[in-house]
Structure 1
Amino acid sequence: MSDTAIGSRAEGYLLEFQDEAVFLTVYPQETNQSTFTDVTLLCAILKKHNIQKYKIADLLKIIELHDGTRQQISGAGMTVGEEAEEKSYVPIIEVSKDKMKAVIYFEGPEELFNFDKAYIMKQLADMNISYGINEKAIEEYLKYPNQRIVIAQGRQPINGENAYIKKYIDFSKKGRPSEQQYGKVDYKDLNLFVLVSKGDILAERILQTKGEVGMNIMGQEIACRPGKPIPLLKGKNTDILNDNTLIAMLDGQAIDENNKISVDPRIDINSDVDYATGNIDFNGSVFIRGNVQEGFTVKAQGDVEVGGTITGGVVEARNVYINGGILGMRHGKVYAREDIRTTFVENADITAERDIFISDVALHSVINAGRRINVNEKRGQIVGGYVVAGMLIDAKLIGNAINVATRVEVGINPIISKKYKTLAGKIEAAKKKLKTIKSTLVVFEAKMDRLTLDQKMKFAEMKRMQFPLAGEIERNENELKSIGEQLKNMENAKIKVADKIYPGVKLVISSLLYAVQIEAQHCTFSADRENGCVKNGPY
């Protein structure tokens, strides 16, 4: 046996393995230090060093004395009777590293097991195990001591649930054509409006929970993470009841805008927009069962749905849906702050800040979309005109067999670029204004006791102004960041052709020009910036 020492004065004990002898010292109690009592630990160490011939009674006696005396407990020098005495066995209690579980087992012959529940409970107390003790498990263990069994179990902490907004309205189907048999869709039923009645519950805030602290078997608390709160935002024409329930204040169309639900009233026009109705300018949504005739205008803060066609008229709205199509007659225009959906476009000027969906054909028109233009249903053809999208143009056919001049462009979008510059200008102006306000407030505060009544009123007004202005700057900066990401995404702009593209078509991708000389099929055009050209790949 090589010389080894385990333990220290600070730990309360010292086991020394020298030659063929083993010595134990249990030190007297120091100030602010409890007496060492863990006989299970000593037995485990002796077992690890293959020491079998010792008396458990000797260990208990030395622990009880704890006078710092070094005493031999095994090996050479012991009396023959002591050395020949049968090996002592005690139940071993193991504690997991995280102090969440204690397991007991006995490695000796079952006939040598003569311990009771009181002994095990004392061992647990000596090891400072005070929580989660399973007395039934201890009783079960005493019946069959050769098993390994968990006799103490801690309680894991339960983190709190985050608050969330439960919406009672399904917005996911909004703007989607209804499906019919055999996979067909009905473009006359676009599910455009989510209608609610006054008093309807629109959303509910489910509050966060605090969670529950845990406890290890030593009786020490384990912290939990509380749930996070979330604001319940009140949109237009809504109100909040009991702090957590959002309701509609009038009949109308529910709109989900940046996690804020608003209610827009709408109007129904059961005829054409013509001399009988005059121009329409409405801050809600408009449903027109007939056509928008030449020379008439429909403007709406909400959505506009036209059951017939726009025949030389002008429509401006958030989303514009035309079941028939758009006959521009060279002066008809359609503008949408979000999306446009129509069957066809002919000799018209249409613009959408997001996406344009044309289910049949686009003929000799100026078409501009902030993100995507999709013309890949039915005939799916773009012929003539000037078609521009920020990120993607996807069509079945571009051009035609008689090589009509057609210009298609992606990667540069004047709508978003202009919006970015305008917003950046507003932010800069607002920051200058806020800086001026703060400087003026500092001057006023320095001579507060000498201010006139008018100056004091101006001081109070400027103090109130600075906080909303700072909030406006923050919101605009977040929007500017979002627009900047859109501009960055335009670097990967593409033109996709599911069927054919004909000669006579000119493509512009991120300022790179490509004139189609020969007919190509099933292809995708994108910018090759390394070589400064447009490349043609598979669809």
Structure 2
Amino acid sequence: MNRNEINQQTDFELQAKHDGIYLEIRKPSQTSIDLMLEGIIHTLERNKIYEYSLQEIKQALQNKAPVVEVKVSEQMELATLDEEMQLEISSNRMYAVVSFKPSQKGGKSLEPGQIKRMLADHKVCFGLDEDLIHKLEKEKQYYHKYIIAQGKEAIPGKDGELIYHFQIKKEATFLEKEDGTVDFHHLDLIENVRKGQPLVTAIPPEDGIPGTTVLGEEIIPKKGKAIRLPVGKNTEISQDETQLIATTDGQVLFTDNKISVYEVYEVPANVGTSTGNIDFVGNVVVKGNVLTGFSIKAGGNIEVYGVVEGAHLIAEGDIILYRGMQGIGRGQLQAGGNVVAKYIENSHVEAEKDVKSEAIMHSTVKAGLSIVVEGKRGLIVGGVLRAGQEIVAKTIGSSMATATVLEVGLDPTIVEHFRNLKQSLKETEKEAKQVDQAITILTRMQETRELTAERKEMLVKTTRTKILLQQKMLNIRNEIDKVAPLLEVKTLGKVKAMKLVYPGVKVTIGTSSMYIREDIQYCTLYVDQGDIKVDVYR
């Protein structure tokens, strides 16, 4: 029997016996079955053995026995083979991989330095693993692939980048109340910007770092790309071409890879928990309703195509409600311009200019100029309406004598300020009277006996409070004296009813008042020599 001992780093060997050549597989093996099978096939091919049963070899590899033999050839002898080294260079020339095949039947082993010589012959000169080369000259695992050299990848240049000075994806911010519930009103979904505000800054690209292949070739790095500023509507590039600037006030949005500033903020559905309160520097358009408890604040106009419930709308411009407002006692409108609404019910409305509607019911309405209630119904019933110039309607009041107060001819803001001053003076005088009573009691006690330290301190505090209240009353009276003459200006204010004014209506024009005690049809109420007169509608 002719036998060739293979290097112990393998897990199999070929043996020549009297009846042929056998493959001996040793267990347990630290090598994977697939890798062992690959090594076995290479070894058989080196020995020019081709008529073997691959299925029997696979079954032997699966066998749990410590040693398994499989006959692979009828040949009687093994060939003499030298130890071999194979070198593979990856297609991108970034890796050099070596593997080894053992000597057989007295074949020669690799000489010291032969690994390096072979690498040099193939021009592998960069990224050599010197430690691995030294180790492989002493011991190796046959048929195993070793990465003997590795190139250095080029580091690509860094592309230019954009630094955004606003949130590209504006997400709702849920605030937790003190009681632990979530506040769905303040979601902060709108990114407001002002004219001249920087929106984006462009950072220039950076150069890359060259790399090297295992063959020593230089790898040119990919250059960094400059990035363009995403100019959109109402934006412009700065003179130094490094920033994108807003050219108007509005909402900034990143859409279709462009940054635009929109002067109109449109809500496609209701203003409610999905939107939170809206605070926008431009115009606001709401396609749905505005639900109770929510607010809209606009630097321009507000338009609502649905119904406004018990909500709060503030606009520096006009407020237009195409379907009206059912305020349920909580709704408020404040406009720096006009208020136009299909109807207004149980609401509080203030406009620096005109208020126009088809019906105003049980509401408090103030207009710097006129209140005009026309259209199909043209009804004013209940509530308090104040206008600087005139109030016009088809019908005022109701057959049930519903209390309805109309005031014209004076600036409603001045009138309200005057009333607040009078109320404040009344409350301050009451407080001053209570303080005087406390001082009187403490003074009498001091005359009969020594006051305790606590009461002495109380006397000092109440005396100080009296001085402050006296000064406050003086200031209020001075302000009343300034405002009062404004209420005595001759007025041309009028109240006009195209159809009827019912009993229960109180009309005040300037400082003159009239209670309507019987129906008045097709009329104009005005002031003549301090008295309210009734004339035909004109």
Q: TM bucket by the smaller chain? A: 0.3 to 0.5
Q: TM-score, normalised by structure 2?
A: 0.38
Q: Which has the larger radius of gyration?
A: 2
